[in-house]
Amino acid sequence: MMLKDIFMSLSQNQFLNSTAKKYGLKMGAQSVVAGTNIEEAIKSIKDLNANGISCTVDNLGEFVFKEEEAAAAREQILKVIEAIHSNNADAHISLKPTQLGLDIDYSLCLNNVREIVDKANQYNMFVNIDMEDFKHLQPTLDLLDDLSLEYDNVGTVIQAYFHNAMDYLEKYKNYRIRLVKGAYKEPAEIAYQDKKDIDANYIKLIEWHLLNGKFTSIATHDHRIINHVKEFVKRNNIPNDKFEFQMLYGFRKELQLKLAKEGYNFCTYVPFGNDWYGYFMRRLAERPQNLNLVAKQVFNKKTNTILGVAAGAFILGRVTRGNNNKRK
């Protein structure tokens, strides 16, 4: 089993997730998670704003199967919107439909997201509906369609690994769209598996939306793609206010600052909250080099938490037993 698969398994473990909630940010997670509460998140956002970087804020949350849990997430996001407004921060919202009840009931989720979009709209704030796995793709687009009947401060994400990503992009060209390579493990019948195919489709989508779309958020840590975009916008006289670059909090910090300094719109994706564990494990799965962070934080300290021990035990269990994962 690959290290990547181990971290993906860990990210899906509910026991470790709930154990992690009882502790502060551990195991190096603080380098990629901007705090466990709204005050800490606002401080991180203001620090980024001071460097000319705007933010999209994600209230972390996993395993939402009950109506009360979805309502609690909604209330927390409403508080985040108030905090962004009252602190005069340059930030908007990113949310995951499953956290707001998509796996419970579509209408329940729509009502929760509508309350959030309505509140954000009062402050002229954008709300991005993040894209999860294929199972949730159509219902997520349905949310966008339904909300667009009433609001125009809402957009979503298109994942370049899907064979028919261009069809989605053409349909949603009049929206502010975040373009990504795609983060979930999807079958070969519907999604490219090879990096070079995904990258080629990603570039095709970016170029098309820059030429034909409303506003493009290019969300990647890949400097090759970023350099390509810089050349492309120059060659085609695409103004800076038609697009932005996005990266995750804590990733390639120097490059984030450099792009902002060069005058490009830059937006950092700022995840926060005490439900940080699954997010952190998925980031490790994506880029196991980040394991250095964990090694420094956990193994050099005498104060290992139960979490570290449980994680180790779980890894060993998984390595010997094997498994198969859904999420990437």
Active site (catalytic) residues: 130, 178
Give least dist CB 308 to ligand FAD, A. 23
Residue closer to ligand FAD, measured from CB, 8 or 219: 219
**Annotated binding residue at 282?**
yes
Alpha-carbon gap, residue 267 to 216, rounded angstroms: 12
Residue selected from 287, 296, 301, 326 as contacting ligand FAD according to rule CB under 6 A:
287
| 3-state secondary structure at position 221 | coil
**Annotated binding residue at 22?**
no
**Annotated binding residue at 318?**
no
CA distances from 236 to 17, 59, 169, 179 (A): 47, 37, 20, 19
Residue selected from 25, 143, 229, 247 as contacting ligand FAD according to rule CB under 6 A:
247
Residue selected from 9, 49, 99, 220 as contacting ligand FAD according to rule CB under 6 A:
220
Residue closer to ligand FAD, measured from CB, 32 or 308: 32
Residue selected from 135, 214, 221, 242 as contacting ligand FAD according to rule CB under 6 A:
221
Chain centroid, CA 251 distance in Å: 12
How many contiguous H segments (helices) and E segments (strands) does the chain have?
13, 8
Q: Does 181 bind ligand FAD (CB under 6 A)?
A: yes
Q: Does 54 bind ligand FAD (CB under 6 A)?
A: no
Is beta strand 176-180 parallel, antiparallel or unpaired with respect to 215-219?
A: parallel
Burial class (CB in 10 A: 0-12, 13-18, 19+), 80: buried
Q: Does 246 bind ligand FAD (CB under 6 A)?
A: yes
Q: Which residue has the tokens 């996005």?
A: 246
**Annotated binding residue at 252?**
no
Residue selected from 269, 272, 276, 279 as contacting ligand FAD according to rule CB under 6 A:
269
Residue closer to ligand FAD, measured from CB, 109 or 183: 183
Considering all CA atoms of the chain, what is the largest pairwise distance in Å, rounded to the nearest integer? 56
